[in-house]
Structure 1
Amino acid sequence: MQDKMLDEFNQQTRRFFEPMRKLNSLMLGNMEKMTEYQLEAMKRYSQMGTERMRSASEIRDAQDLQAFGAQQAEMMSELSRQMMEDAQALGEMSQQFRAELEQLFGEVSQELSDTAKQAEASAKPAASGKTDAPAKSDAPAKATSRKS
């Protein structure tokens, strides 16, 4: 008897915490993906900056300065393009995360609805099995005394 009650309690606890576990897993996965992408982006940007500093340190005359200026304009164009791609990729990741969240909340909502319907269905037969006892009044009881 106790084993059955304990098993039922464990199952209810699992069902209760399962949506939170799924949500935490989804959020952790998204955070890992976003962090990894941002670290890769930072690596690309720092490499671009390091290359530009290296090129600047190699300027020896006016021709090198002119070539550096042309390369700088190209690099800025590349940087702008890369930043737009990164922003688009992060936006897509956010949209995917949002869709996954909506799906998860939909599943949880459906599970809760099904559980509520099952509880309601199981409560109806139990309620119909009750005997109709006379209703108690909420009024205070009256004392009666008899004289003999």
Structure 2
Amino acid sequence: MQDDMMDAFNAQTRQMFEPMRKINSLMLNNMEKMTQYQLEAMKRYSQMGTERIRSATSIQDAESLRDFGTQQAEIMNELSQQMQEDARAMGEMSLQFKTEMEKLFSDAGQQMTEKATAAAKGQQPGASGAASSQSSRKK
């Protein structure tokens, strides 16, 4: 009997913590994904910067300076486009995370509603039985 009570308690505890475990797992996965993306973006930007520094060290005359200036404008355009793409990708990841969180909360709310409904239906017969036993005691 005591083992049955412990098993029931363990099952209820698992059910209670399952939504929190799912949320924590989702948050951790999202954090990993965002961090990885940001690290890759930082690597791209630092490589672009070091390439520009290398190009600047190769300037030897007015013509190479003019070429460097032209390349600099092109690189700035590339950088602007890359930053826009990165912002869009981060926004999409955030929207996906938001959608998944909403689904988790919706599922958890639905489960709670179902359990509350089942518990209310299970208590109604017992409640009326308890009321009738109290009324029979008063007689």
TM-score (norm 2): 0.94
**Higher relative contact order, structure no. (Cα contacts within 8 Å, ≥ 6 residues apart):** 2
Letter paired with 2:37: Y
Paired residues for 1:132-143 under 5 Å: 132=135, 133-134=137-138
Q: How does 1:1-148 map to 2 (within 5 A)?
A: 1-130=1-130, 131=133, 132=135, 133-134=137-138
SS at match of 1:129: helix
Count of aligned pairs: 134
Q: Output one character per residue of 1:6-53: Cα deviation in whole Å (capped at 9) or x when no partner.
A: 010000000000000000000000000000000000000000000000
The unaligned stretches of length 5 or more in structure 1 are: 135-148
Q: Which runs of 5+ in 2 are unaligned?
A: none
Distance 2:36 2:91 in 1: 15
Specify the code of the residue in structure 2 equivalent to 1:66: R
| Counterpart-to-counterpart distance in 2, 1:33 and 1:62 | 46
What's the TM-score once normalised by structure 1's chain length? 0.89
Please identify runs of 4+ aligned residues in structure 1 that moved more than 6 A.
Answer: none
1:65 Cα deviation after fit: 0.2
User: What CA distance in whole angstroms lies between the structure 1 residues aligned with 2:42 and 2:62?
Assistant: 32
CA distance in 1, matches of 2:118, 2:15: 14
